[in-house]
Amino acid sequence: MTRGRILQALLQELNARRGEPLGRHTFVQVGGPADWFVNVRDAAALVDLVRAARCAGTPLTMLGAGSNVLIRDGGIRGVVLKNETRGCRNVGETQIEVESGIRFAALARSTARAGLAGLEWAAGIPGAIGGGLPTNAGAYGSDLSDVLVGIRAIAPDGALVEFEASELALGYRTSRLRDGDLQDHIVTSLTLQLRQGDTYTSLAEIDRVEGLRKTNAPSGPSLGSTFRNPTSDERSAGQLIEEAGLKGAVIGAAQVSELHANYILNTDVTHARAADFLTLIARIQEAVQSQFGVSLEPEIAVIGEEAPRG
């Protein structure tokens, strides 16, 4: 059996779908179709599919919960793998290993109920932990670097490899997995160091964090936090966008939130296009650069191809 046929057989076994609209799988609800789309809930199947796609020379794109990502209108060629592996096991009294598809919010609550503290801040993050790792996701003064011990990953050649947290160059919304030489590695699990805590205290803090998010972050389809906060200015990205006079700015179905200017909303899911969001992002960057001399860098990932013209 040829390498391509091995991949096709595995896609069939995993009930892959052709031409799946990717807007169904992102928080902002825009994005063109995938050549092949497959949900993977088993860690072994994830490894097999990644290896088969790479062996066949077929492009492979990982998609987690679909937060903080914008997929262009032309969609994605090859295979889009939605990672829904959500296993969690204890590897010590206060240390756990979690599969990369587990959601931050669910993990925060489950560890709190188990009497483990240290992830309360993550309750307001909507995405999956594996998707948040490359940007060292965080909130309210904490981030993954505070608890990460190490990771397991699939290297470009299909080998299973391990890295300690100290090897990942985790910084403010960056790491070797996002901006360095590990971009082609696919994370399968993370080991986290938590601490003994009080369940009721942790759950109360989680309720507080979730309340803050509901108060300060807009609801509905959006790109989430669109830009990184600049290091060259004391003002946040949201403050700069607001002071540039762009709160409420609209292009097509893309609108800068009136509640929090670093969020770009989808106001018309039926007719929204990724191109509108990209145009609005560029307009924001140009205005902030022109007025304040600050270059805003996207926190979101922009992937996929432009839609064909004509």
Distance (Å, whole) CA 225 – CA 264:
8
Q: Which of 152, 225, 242, 257 is catalytic?
A: 225
Q: Which of 103, 152, 173, 178 is catalytic?
A: 173
* 3-state SS track over 160-222: EEEEEHHHCCCECCECHHHHCCCCCCEEEEEEEECEECCHHHHHHHHHHHHHHHHHHCCCCCE
Give residue for tokens 């076994």: 13
3-state secondary structure (DSSP) of residue 264: strand
Residues sharing a CB contact under 8 Å with residue 8, sequence separation 6 or more, in sequence order: none
Distance (Å, whole) CA 262 – CA 297: 12
Respond yes or no: is residue 225 known to be catalytic: yes
How far apart (Å, rounded) are the C-alpha atoms in residues 141 and 293? 26
Nearest to 51 by CA among 186, 182, 150: 186
Nearest residue to 145 (alpha-carbon basis) of 125, 118, 127: 118
Among residues 20, 84, 242, 299, the one annotated as catalytic is 299
The answer to whether 173 is a known catalytic residue is: yes
Phi, psi of 283 (to 5 degrees): -65, -40
Q: Which residues are catalytic?
A: 173, 225, 299
